[in-house]
Copies of this chain bind each other. A is one copy, B any other.
Amino acid sequence: MPPVFDITARDGAARAGLIHTAHGVVRTPAFVPLATTATVKSLHAAEVAELGYDMVLGNTFHLFIQPGPDLIREMGGLHEFMGWRGAIITDSGGYQVFSMGHGSVAEEIKRRGRWRGGPGGVTPTGRTSMIVSIEEEGVRFRSYTDGAERFMGPEISMDVQAALGSDIALAFDECTPFHVEREYTESSMERTHRWLDRCVSWHREHAPAGQLLYGIVQGGVYENLRARSTAYVAQSGVQGIAIGGSLGQSKEQMREVVGWSLRELPDDPPRHLLGIGDVDDLVHAVGSGIDTFDCATPTRLARHGSALVHDPAKRWRLDLAKGVHRASTEPIDPDCPCPACREHTRGYLHYLIKAGELTAKRLITLHNLTFMEQLMRGMRDAIVVGTFAEHGERVLAGEPVR
């Protein structure tokens, strides 16, 4: 068996490489689009491949609830089910289960979280947490579809991910948000470490051939907890390492927290940063040595009418729903090769958004995923030729470097 990860070029702390999976190679640094519900929303699988992506992220929790792992196993696994021939990474379900402490899976744990939840807790919108209890064995929660009590723990998460047949499985973890005290963060982290050991054991016995397992670093915003968690995950026998949990209240704190985790990491395994996708965050994180990323933002922004653009002053976002675009005959970006930019105007997209047309969500999704792919490709190329630092500065300055 070849090594999981070939680092093919280095430039400072940044690395370019190839993750070898059972469904092909993933070129890194890479952004991984979300196929939360077995589809990148509004696109079919072949279109995502045509955009240049090697891997998508499936959601263990959502697919556990609907349509259920048994059906997907019967249909030949998630690749067959959704018609995707590339690699799939599946999150463990932990993030979604615990985000229900916020009251719904839609109110996701944010860096700037306002969590008051936990079992019996109250969510930011005043609803009772959907988590029934957090036990050593796992988590009891109520399903968002029918309110029925369900259970998920490390073995179930691994079993579901085996049914999905993902190329990269993530260990089951508790994802603690920002406003949690150090004491809870520490005991949660230690339980997550015990859950990691159970995931590794289960995976060793039962995993489908070729499936890789990543452990998740927790420890909140506490430097020595992050250091302990990183060390624990690194020695646990996993093939890759993901950085999860609360990364703090600000971009500065996030970079600090990611830095603590990275300082302790071995060089060889691929490194995934969970849930981060802003342009500046990606540039900094690639520069620090992160290899892959997933994030809902590019596709979610698209569905709400915002296109990604080379404009740091506007957080790289162009809100096409704004009236200023009403009669604009400009494309989003004259140099972008996506159909939204090649064939359509800001004025038309503005109108489609206002008219509630699916075509708007789809065209802007195509644009934003084209933008992200070009961003990552540009960073990969810069690492190979040894110009990453300068390239990153130009991206951060808003230059449309590709």
Contact = CB atoms under 8 A, between A and B. Distances in A.
Interface in A32-76: 37-46, 66-67, 71, 74-76
| Residue among A81, A354, A361 having the largest count of chain B Cβ atoms under 10 Å | A81
Interface string A321-346: 00000110100000000011001110
A43 to B, nearest CB: 7
B45 A343 contact: yes
17 contacts: A38-B348, A38-B351, A38-B352, A39-B357, A39-B359, A44-B343, A44-B362, A44-B363, A66-B354, A67-B326, A67-B354, A71-B347, A75-B345, A75-B348, A76-B329, A358-B358, A358-B361
A144 to B, nearest CB: 13
Interface residues of A, number: 39
Interface of A: 37-46, 66-67, 71, 74-76, 81-83, 326-327, 329, 339-340, 343-345, 347-348, 351-352, 354-355, 357-359, 361-363
Contacts of A74: 327
B81 A357 contact: no
A38 B357 CA distance: 10
Contacts of A358: 41-42, 358, 361-362
A170 B38 CA distance: 44
B46 A343 contact: yes
Given A41-B357, A75-B348, 6 more contacts: A44-B344, A44-B363, A66-B354, A66-B355, A81-B351, A83-B345
B355 A83 contact: no
B359 A42 contact: yes
Contacts of A357: 37, 39, 41
Contacts of A83: 343-345, 348
A40 B44 CA distance: 18
Given A354-B66, A354-B67, A44 B339 contact: yes
Contacts of A66: 351, 354-355
Nearest to A84: B343
Contacts of A359: 39-44
A75 B327 contact: yes
